[in-house]
Amino acid sequence: MGRFLSVFDFDDTLAVSHGYIEVKKPDGTVKRYTSEEYVHYSPVSGDALHFSHLNDLHNPRLVTRVWGEFVSDVSHPDRDVVILTSRPRGASSSIRKLLHHMGVPVHMVEVMAIESGRPQDKARRIEEKILTGKYKQVRFIDDNHRNVEAVRELLDAHEIVSASVHLPHSELTVENLSEVCGEHFPSDEWAECVFLVP
Ligand SMILES: [Mg+2]
């Protein structure tokens, strides 16, 4: 019986924070992109990219429902749990600190910071896992449609059984917010479906 691989994106899936990527243009102007905006950024010759602002977590707030699923998967003995983020490698220790702070056994979670916003790069990392032959089921949770599509294609190609791919944002409609977020639900905005990490 194969194991279950559970892969979670970090930004806007497990947590919301204020990190950004800085792009310095040849004329000296500087633009800032959130990790979500950066997915749609097309490199232009002469642009200088700075990822260092994504090494740290600024004012992280957990997306409670997805975080709950994450914690549940971590405690499941047959599941391997990965956080797969486009953030730079330096962000791994910040994310581990957050896990530790929240009481999650850090050694039970593999944090992969791949320093790339390309959906194919995320899919490739999951493929490396699949090729070990350990997994029969994969669950991938990401707020970005392009990442989800890339991984869905990959799972189809490998004929992974019972693969489930979720889009947290599509689930978090205004109608079901209070049900999903319970007492942590203070308003109609999905982004409020979080609680502050002290
Ligand atoms: Mg994301």
Q: Where are the chain's structural domains?
A: 3-17+57-181, 18-52
Of the ranges 112-116, 149-153, 171-175, the best mean pLDDT one: 112-116
CA 27 to centroid of ligand 1, rounded, Å: 30
The 10s digit of each residue's pLDDT in 161-194 is 544 455 445 444 434 444 444 443 333 333 333 3
CA 64 to centroid of ligand 1, rounded, Å: 15
Tokens of 112: 């992969």
- Exposure of 26 in the CB half-sphere (CA atoms within 13 A): 4
The 10s digit of each residue's pLDDT in 55-77 is 888 778 888 778 888 999 999 99
Question: 3-17+57-181 sits in which CATH class?
Answer: alpha beta
Q: Are 138 and 7 in contact (CB under 8 A)?
A: yes
Residue type, 190: W
* CA-to-CA dists, residue 64 to 3, 111, 194, angstroms: 26, 19, 5
Query: Percentage of residues in the chain with pLDDT exceeding 70?
Result: 79
pLDDT at 26: 93
> Average pLDDT, whole number, for the chain?
78
Neighbours of 68 (CB within 10 A): 14
How far is it, in rounded angstroms, from Cα 108 to Cα 112? 13
CA 175 to centroid of ligand 1, rounded, Å: 22
Q: Are 98 and 60 in contact (CB under 8 A)?
A: yes
